[in-house]
Structure 1
Amino acid sequence: MASSMVAVGLALAAAGFAGRYAMQALKQVEPQMKQALKSFPKTAFGGGFYRGGFEPKMTKREASLVLGLSPTANKVKIREAHRKLMILNHPDRGKTHPDRGGSPYIAAKINEAKDLMDGQK
């Protein structure tokens, strides 16, 4: 019984020292980590929200921003991006939970962006 108590005490002490060492190591690495995170490229979705509303007539640039694609994306990528966005923003989504539903206006803009990028307009 006494030997198991000693073993538990030694294990707790070792865990404490390891945690202290890890915290000191993280403090030294923190500036490099912050610098590395700042150097990552900012995308349309990862870099925050697009400032401003929709333009009166959708342009190719705005359509590519809505879909999160390059203006020269191929039809397969356009359809995949459209499908993913429509799954998240479809007006019928969330009928049982109104706070989780999609917006008809946003869905219309996503469809308009797909049509413009796909060359149907």
Structure 2
Amino acid sequence: MTSAIIAGLGLAAAGFAGRYVLKQMPTLSQKMAEAVKSMPKLDSQSLANSKYYKGGFEQKMTRREASLVLGVSPTAPKSKVKEQFKKVITANHPDRGGSPYLAAKINEAKDLLEK
């Protein structure tokens, strides 16, 4: 008998909660629409000013591309290249969920800049 009462109360609570959610849906969707409208637009100018490199890889890696991959100057000393290489490869190593292709490119960049 007690379990039937508890089940009935639970069912009633679920019904009231569902009714409340359905009544709030129009205001929630309106607030969501307003939030989307107030978001800043991403145009080509803001993407061009981004600190991340937006291009793909070239056929043969250049010093410029290698410096972009590691985040150092093309004329950076070997110690700075090695230090930055450790940071970048740690974040992108395949054993930690990174891409083997990116790891190969990072290694290629380090080799090119250490020459």
User: What is the TM-score normalised by the length of structure 1?
Assistant: 0.53
Partner of 1:117: 113
**Aligned equivalents of 2:63 and 2:55: distance in 1?**
16
Deviation at 1:48, TM superposition (A): 3.7
Partner of 2:73: 70
1:22-78 superposed Cα distances (whole Å, 9 cap, x missing partner): xxxxxxxxxxxxxxxxxxxxxxxx934312210000000000000100011001000
- Gap runs ≥5 in structure 2: 1-48
Corresponding residue to 2:64 among 61, 66, 76: 61
Mapping of residues 1-121 of structure 1, within 5 Å: 47-93=50-96, 101-119=97-115
Distance 1:114 1:47 in 2: 24
Residue 42 of structure 2: aligned partner: none
CA distance in 2, matches of 1:63, 1:92: 22
Instruction: Tell me which stretches of 4 or more aligned residues in structure 1 moved more than 3 Å.
Output: none
Distance (whole Å) between structure 2 residues aligned to residue 47 and residue 77 of structure 1: 23
Q: Which has the larger radius of gyration?
A: 2
Q: Aligned to 2:68, what secondary structure does the other structure show? A: helix
Identity level (%): 66
Q: TM-score if structure 2 supplies the norm length?
A: 0.56
Q: In the TM superposition, what is the alpha-carbon distance from 1:90 to its structure 2 partner?
A: 0.4
User: What one-letter code is carried by the residue in structure 2 that aligns with 1:81?
Assistant: Q
Distance in structure 1 (CA, Å) of the matches to 2:95 and 2:88: 13
